[in-house]
Structure 1
Amino acid sequence: MITDLPPLNAVRAFAAAARHESFSRAAEELHVSHSAVSRHVKLLEEHLGVLLFERRIRQSVLTPAGQAFYEQVSLALSQIANAAVSLRRGAALRKVIINVRPSFAVRWLIPRLPQFMARYPQIQPEVVTSTQLPDPARETFDLVIRRGHSGWSRTLQPQRLLEDEILLVAAPSLLQDTALDSPKDLTRHSLLVSRTRASDWQRWLEHCGLKPLRNPPTLHFDHMHLVLQACVDGLGLALCPASLLAKDLASGRLVCPLPELRQPLPRYYYALAADAAPEAQGFIQWMLEQAQQDALEHTTRQPL
């Protein structure tokens, strides 16, 4: 029974002394003094009521009772150590490190994580953001997500995640004050620009066959998620990847005033690190389900 256990520190000291046949070497292994090991062994002998060692000059030899006890104790201690190692490994494997760009993390991944964690409570996602593709030789991750198929490390095999396109969006309150019924009305609004996607407006106008805008009022921001927040707050019009808009469009925080004007974008890809945790596969499957759901919702929102 648990209540019959001998002092465990004393058992540990005894096992070390029995293995080395030396109190001094046991003390070195346990980082304690020789006298501390001796006291632990004596305490254990008093608890058990038997002599475990024959004390000789410069040597401690197990008695028959000590030998029998050591054989069982060493097995039990090994089982405890193996259980601890297994538990630590299991805890480490449950963590999945996902490396993404900041805007994708803020606008696509993080808002969905509560759903993932509710479905897979045993997996702990850890989101790491960077603007550059990570180097597997220098950075630790299980899964990386980026747009486009170029620039990837040779050790990574990118796989398709989701399709994407550029949409024009605005806050409903902005359009109530200043209508946007046709491309001609673009000149009546301020344009919101992300420095990480500085050429979006020019490319979008060219793709849609529209004339360049002459010196439109613009507001510049460092990242796309800041542009979207400014757009939600009614500061102007934004061009944004549809992949980052699902929650805002669904909630009505943003609307797409000219839905027929769309520009395709390079799709998103994901790749697994060579030593990725097995749980990363479950995370990928969940992301693919989310991407499929987005595609269905996006189709239903498109005008007939």
Structure 2
Amino acid sequence: MISELPPLNAVRAFASAARHQSFSRAAEELHVSHSAVSRHIKLLEEHLGVLLFERRTRQSVLTPAGQTFYEQVSVALTQIANAATALTRGASMRKVTINVRPSFAVRWLIPRLPNFMALYPDIQPEVVTSTLPPDQSREAFDVVIRRGHTGWASNVQPQILLEDDMVLVAAPSLLQTLPLNDAGNLLRHTLLAGRTRGMDWKNWAEHAGIAQLRNQPTLQFDHMHLVLQAAVDGLGVALCPASLLGKDLSTGRLICPLPSLRLPLVRYYYGVSSEAAAETQLFIDWMFAQIHQDTTAPTDSSLTAQPTSAP
């Protein structure tokens, strides 16, 4: 089919001449000579075996065959122009691929992305979630974020991103019914846990200096963002990385009943692909700015206060 195409430069010259009904104006539009336009159209007519224009003294008028051909060709040329424009716009939209764990994506990254997109409208962040250790040969990314610096592929160098602590959180309605004024009160509550963080409650109990929580009713979920949703819904008390709390404390959806009792966690690290887009550094700088903003934001102590129990 492609081999049957007429000379495309000749088609372009024809379309311009047909639109203007003038070889001279077509020449001006295409920045070529009048004779060049004339040669292109003659070549096209010979290729098609049809007369496309009726040459008059001061005007070139489309023949019926030329009119039919122009109507179809003009649509095709418009489609080509639109395709080229769309491709150019796509190429001008620079992309940064960010590989993170699902909970970090849902609870930390995605809520903040509107700010990044407002600052850098020409950079498209593409978020990819994975629970696998960072390995550039297995998964494509510009920047990857994981907790801890072990298990990384040798071609990705981890850099410190974020310090983190584990804290207790619960819905205000739950704490109003069953206050949690000290660690010992936890024995009256259902515990919410993530399957990928099976040792958290044991480690926290040791850190808090209380008996191991062995016989507590426990609900388990696949990811921490599901654990937090269960906490918001009042299903129990969650032990959660502070980095994933988002705006749940500031909006009052959750309360941190024992804010001074915090279990230090392994840091978050980030790594950059050897083939990372130049825009990746802008994204990294933006992340650090967000972290700095979070750590310097004023804390409202009333958010961690225990709700008064009903008499």
TM-score (normalizing by structure 1): 0.72
SS in 2 for 1:270: strand
| Partner in structure 2 of residue 37 of structure 1 | 7
User: Deviation at 1:122?
Assistant: 1.1
TM-fit CA distance, 1:212? 1.0
Question: Is residue 113 of structure 2 the alignment partner of residue 113 of structure 1?
Answer: yes
CA RMSD after TM alignment: 3.2
In structure 2, what residue type is equivalent to 1:31?
Answer: I
Amino acid at match of 2:195: R
- CA offsets 1:260-303 (integer angstroms, 9 cap, x no match): 21110011111111111111111111100111122223877699
Q: How far does the alpha carbon of each residue in 1:189-216 deviate from its partner, in whole angstroms, 9 at most, with x for none? A: 1001110111110011112221112411
Q: 1:228 to 1:38 in 2, by over 3 A?
A: closer
1:179 corresponds to: 179
Q: Give 1:51 deviation, angstroms.
A: 4.0
Q: Does 1:263 align with 2:263?
A: yes
1:277 paired to 2:274: no
CA distance 1:54–1:145, shift in 2 (3 Å): same
Relative distance call for 1:31 and 1:193 in structure 2 (3 A) is same
Which runs of no fewer than 5 residues in structure 1 stay unpaired?
A: 1-29, 56-79
Instruction: Kindly provide the amino acid, as one letter, of the partner of residue 123 in structure 1.
Output: I
Partner-residue secondary structure (3-state), 2:260 = coil
The 2-side partners of 1:298 and 1:161 are apart by 21
Secondary structure of the equivalent of 1:32? Answer: helix
Structure 1 residue 53, shift from structure 2 partner: 11
Cα deviation, residue 155, structure 1: 1.1
Within 5 Å, which residues of 2 pair with 1:231-242?
Answer: 231-242=231-242
Q: Which residue of 2 aligns with 1:211?
A: 211
- Measured after TM superposition, the shift of residue 168 of structure 1 is 0.6
Q: 1:139 to 1:52 in 2, by over 3 A?
A: same
1:204 maps to amino acid:
W
SS of residue in 2 equivalent to 1:250: coil
| 2:46 alignment partner in structure 1 | none
Distance 1:37 1:238, change over 3 A: same
Alignment of 1:201 onto 2:201:
yes
Equivalence for 1:150: 150
**Displacement, 1:99?**
0.2
- Matched residue SS, 2:163: strand
Q: How far does residue 90 in structure 1 lie from its aligned partner after superposition?
A: 4.4
Q: 1:102 to 1:42 in 2, by over 3 A?
A: closer
Aligned ranges 1:54-203 → 2 under 5 Å: 87=88, 90-91=91-92, 94-203=94-203
Unpaired stretches in structure 2, ≥5 consecutive residues:
18-22, 24-33, 44-80, 305-311
Closer/same/farther in 2, CA of residues 91 and 134 from structure 1, 3 Å limit: farther
Whether 1:248 and 2:218 are equivalent positions in the alignment is no
Say if 1:102 and 1:129, in contact at 8 Å, map to a contact too.
yes
Structure 2 counterpart SS, 1:185: helix
Q: Which amino acid aligns with 2:92?
A: A
How many residue pairs match? The answer is: 246
Distance 1:100 1:240 in 2: 18
Task: Report the AA paired with residue 236 of structure 1.
Answer: G
After the TM superposition, which of the residue ranges 95-104 and 176-185 deviates more from structure 2?
A: 176-185
* 8 Å CA contact 1:246, 1:294 repeated in 2: no
Task: Spell out, residue by residue over 1:58-88, the C-alpha distance to the aligned partner (whole angstroms, 9 max, x if none).
Answer: xxxxxxxxxxxxxxxxxxxxxx9xx98x947
One-letter amino acid matched to 2:234: G
CA distance in 2, matches of 1:31, 1:214: 73
Describe the shift of the 1:33–1:219 C-alpha distance in structure 2 as closer, same or farther (beyond 3 A). Answer: same
3-state SS in 2 of match to 1:146: strand
Contact 2:181 2:257 in 1 (8 A): yes
Cα 1:141–1:238 change in 2 (3 A) is same
CA–CA distance in 2 between the matches of 1:297 and 1:182?
27
Deviations 1:163-203, CA, capped at 9 Å, x for gaps? 00100111111001111111121111100111011111001
Secondary structure in structure 1 of the residue aligned to 2:144: strand
CA shift in 2, pair 1:88/1:115, >3 Å: closer
CA distance in 2, matches of 1:268, 1:194: 18
TM-score calculated relative to the size of structure 2: 0.71
Decide whether aligned partners of structure 1 residues 31 and 168 sit closer, same or farther in structure 2, where only a CA change above 3 A counts.
same
Q: Give the letter for the 1:37 counterpart.
A: P
Cα gap change, 1:88 to 1:151, in 2 (>3 Å): farther
Indicate conservation of the 8 Å contact 2:135/2:155, yes or no.
no
CA contact (8 A) 1:164 1:242 kept: yes
1:230-265 deviation digits (Å, cap 9, x = unpaired): 001110000000100131111111111111211100
